Structure 1
């Protein structure tokens, strides 16, 4: 069975890759690669799926993703342009013992966590500038920019951990996962049954439930819930729709159910979420 393990192309004159990806090359299926990934969204918005994390991404967001951590960035609408700058490098990019040097032990610690983080505030601005410069840098300056980025991330607490200690069940990714995710993105605002998604995966319902939880580390309905709440957050922060309208336009037919699930995921009510977003923008 074909696996979804992406091969990162590294040019002969470079020790790691750093380039711009634009629609259609920006769009990726559910995949993984052994390289660590530092990715800056330079245009577009949609949903980031990283390990067991589901959340909105937008222009200016920057993530650092551990090697072999499955992920996908999906646009909400096919007419939106997706654009990003991404650096990809292997753990031994500068040799097997380089990061064991005591002067950079913080970087060694960073690279030994099977996590993904989203950079925030000052760290976000500093690493963004370094990554933009890195894209066209050459020679020693290119290596220096990567090391500066790693040093800043490894010594800062200005980030949100989006997934922690996530591991795939094996070295391969079953392509059925991508079919399920693709179907879910097309239908998450509609009623979806386990029978429907099990048929997509060509499995019985019990087998599908075990398969999905083994690969995504959550139940299918929890995954669907994450997609719907993520959509509600987008409506709350980018439109003037009432909170009630945001509820019903996010696939819910019960206000009580919506607010309960929203608070479970975001730890605050939908109204407070919108209020905090507005206050941060002032």
Structure 2
């Protein structure tokens, strides 16, 4: 898996933003970044999203705002990717450059809230059980005329700052990777983890993917990702556990081993630390 810089808005400065409605996930399993901010409503779909050093399980209804050049990728669950699956995703995406309304306009006092939202979005923003104004924005923008889209986006960004109803994803000490050697090395590591997180992951194997000694790799990974390798693996396992708790009749102990944990105590402790509640409480909250 290589890092890709994608372009979502026309190169000619004639269109301020791009609006897309997908029924199949686009750019799935591509660790990528782009100059545009990404405003996405998962109306129907589920999986895991990597934003910076965060791994977030997402479900139908979630909305994300991801900042300019913030690395991320989407791992939709298998049922949304199979060719002949009866399960169809419903994803609405708006991409826009930070200066979509011109730099001069962004320097005005009237748009200071929008500048602050841009800065906050660099860590990724999740709107879980989003407010009606956000749902209305995505319901309407696909059919609006260009000028109305422009005004709607300005209004919703200002309202986001005012309401403050979101959760930040990437940690405050996350150091955005440089889009060069760091990305190429980290992509190999993340791809290895993604493919093997439900099995036993040995540090020396992961360090080998990065072309480093184990000690050097531990320091490098903590510096770049803001967390240890085992913390990242546990987050990915817990994201998978959340999906199974919501949609599967396996017992919690069976889910523990299905996700790659070797003992229930470690699973229970990690789940509560990452999610905030024990796995049995999480399952009950989703019924």
SS in 1 for 2:262: coil
Q: Taking structure 1 as reference, are residues 268 and 217 closer, same or farther at Cα in structure 2, changes over 3 Å only? A: same
1:214 to 199, 223, 244: 223
Separation of aligned partners in 1, 2:54 and 2:257: 23
Q: Answer yes or no: is the 8 Å Cα contact 2:3–2:30 preserved in 1.
A: no
Aligned residue runs from structure 1 range 1-282, under 5 A:
4-10=4-10, 12=12, 13-23=14-24, 25-77=26-78, 78-79=81-82, 84-113=91-120, 114-123=122-131, 125-165=132-172, 166-172=174-180, 174-278=183-287
What TM-score does the superposition give when structure 2 sets the normalisation length?
0.86
Distance apart, 1:178 and its partner CA: 2.3
CA RMSD of aligned residues (A): 2.4
Distance apart, 1:62 and its partner CA: 0.8
What TM-score does the superposition give when structure 1 sets the normalisation length?
0.87
Q: Taking structure 1 as reference, are residues 3 and 47 closer, same or farther at Cα in structure 2, changes over 3 Å only? A: closer
Distance apart, 1:194 and its partner CA: 1.2
Distance apart, 1:24 and its partner CA: 5.9
Distance apart, 1:22 and its partner CA: 5.0
Which deviates the most, 84-93 or 96-105? 96-105
Q: Taking structure 1 as reference, are residues 209 and 76 closer, same or farther at Cα in structure 2, changes over 3 Å only? A: farther
Distance apart, 1:206 and its partner CA: 2.6
Separation of aligned partners in 2, 1:49 and 1:275: 26
SS in 1 for 2:5: coil
Q: Answer yes or no: is the 8 Å Cα contact 1:169–1:214 preserved in 2.
A: no
SS in 2 for 1:14: coil
Separation of aligned partners in 1, 2:142 and 2:32: 23
Give the unaligned 5+ runs of structure 1: none
Q: Report Cα offsets for 1:217-244 as digits up to 9, x if no partner.
A: 2111111010111111111222232221
Give the unaligned 5+ runs of structure 2: none
Distance apart, 1:190 and its partner CA: 0.7
Distance apart, 1:21 and its partner CA: 4.3
Separation of aligned partners in 1, 2:234 and 2:101: 42
